[in-house]
Structure 1
């Protein structure tokens, strides 16, 4: 990595050591016929992706001492399309779970959805209006484990019913139990039953006033809160829903690699 003043979002040596084997294997399989490895340091490309995710800046506004937006976007899109971004996230999740004495794959996930506004440049064909939450944009659906780690993410138009999002999430995992909020209906429960998954709809106590954390379901809310520390996710700026999903994987990669390297966790407020 070239000598420059580091940004808070930069990977430490310990974090990069966790990610580098996947990136190095990917790069080795795409060496040019002339044997050229490319002009950019892969660690700096990842730093640029994480910097943009944390700050929310546009591609053309990336700091000048990081790789240019055109190069960063190229690799981000390649890693989105061939599953590398998700692969890194999955491997780190396995590592975190095993470090906590758990099996690599969970048996229980919590399902939840979040509707976020879409930026002006996002295609109307991939957005809609969430009638219940009165949010025009996209719906981000997560399946998270008991540690709050993302198991699966699906991004759809905000007008899409939670049932559709829940069914898509269940199709992406192999679990036995899935608590979900009351926005999910019988079709999700029935689809889960066909897959051998016990979907439990956690009803809100009508006597409660204001925000009251629900058993198990609060874990998904906590994960959404953590993702909101990454400003690129506060609003959906991505033209493709697949890019929005990839952004979630990169945000979780930053969170999990920091945990594994025992680095300082990002907080809502500085001291």
Structure 2
């Protein structure tokens, strides 16, 4: 790498973790292509460019000249999303972090919650809505995480969508990615009976966590770590 590094660049250790999967994906794609041309893009620099765009929020066309051409970066980004490579890397890293914390690869307990956030001015209205309860116009993001805070699943809906829509989708993702290990899911009171029933169909115990009466009126109160 001849350019000056950016703060978002991968370290050598980080690249060593993901390089085998990215290289294997590239080799498989080249083997299936008609020409067998591997291309000239530096895969590490492609990842650095994706991280730069994610960190800064710039438009793809505004990527710095020192990085690979924006069209090549976006092309790789789109292919990796379509082929599920990004998800496989996420799962691999999650399992490694859990093992380092002396836990099994897949969790037995997952926490699900949603949050409505305001959308940027250029976001299409067809994908946004008004969360009447929280008075937020924009989108609603739902996360399923383990007790370490590692992401198991992500769902994005219009803010007007009920928590149940995100909850059932997150349950499906958690069940698929955690397998038979997943036994219990914790949710708050914003999720209704439909999520509990859907969990039962997946053989998952969905528990609605209610606020401790002693904490009423205190706003958000962090719970002790399990």
TM-score by length of 1: 0.75
Whether the aligned pair in 2 keeps the contact of 1:202 and 1:214 (CA below 8 Å) is no
TM-score by length of 2: 0.89
Q: Which runs of 5+ in 2 are unaligned?
A: 176-181
CA distance in 2, matches of 1:46, 1:200: 39
Matched, 1:213 2:212: no
Matched, 1:198 2:197: no
Instruction: Tell me which residue corresponds to 2:35.
Output: 34
Matched, 1:3 2:2: yes
SS of 2:51's equivalent? helix
CA displacement at 1:170 relative to structure 2: 0.6
Partner deviation per Cα, 1:210-250 (whole Å, 9 max, x = no partner): 2212456xx9xxxxxxxxxxxxxxxxxxxxxxxxxxxxxxx
CA distance in 2, matches of 1:107, 1:28: 35
CA displacement at 1:42 relative to structure 2: 0.7
CA distance in 2, matches of 1:132, 1:18: 43
Instruction: Tell me which residue corresponds to 2:163.
Output: 162
Partner deviation per Cα, 1:128-184 (whole Å, 9 max, x = no partner): 111122222211111000111001111111111001100111111232111111111
CA displacement at 1:39 relative to structure 2: 2.5
SS of 1:172's equivalent? helix
Aligned-residue CA RMSD (Å): 1.7
Relative to structure 1, the CA distance from residue 215 to residue 178 in structure 2 (aligned partners, 3 Å threshold; closer, same or farther) is farther
CA displacement at 1:209 relative to structure 2: 1.9
SS of 2:187's equivalent? strand
Whether the aligned pair in 2 keeps the contact of 1:204 and 1:214 (CA below 8 Å) is no
Instruction: Write the mapping of 1:176-187 to structure 2, written as runs, cut at 5 A.
Output: 176-187=183-194
Whether the aligned pair in 2 keeps the contact of 1:127 and 1:159 (CA below 8 Å) is yes
Instruction: Write the mapping of 1:124-139 to structure 2, written as runs, cut at 5 A.
Output: 124-139=125-140
Q: Which runs of 5+ in 1 are unaligned?
A: 220-271
Which of structures 1 and 2 has the larger relative contact order (alpha carbons within 8 angstroms, sep 6+)? 1
Whether the aligned pair in 2 keeps the contact of 1:130 and 1:158 (CA below 8 Å) is yes
Instruction: Write the mapping of 1:1-271 to structure 2, written as runs, cut at 5 A.
Output: 2-31=1-30, 32-174=33-175, 175-205=182-212, 207-214=216-223
Q: How many residues align?
A: 216
SS of 2:173's equivalent? coil
CA distance in 1, matches of 2:100, 2:65: 37
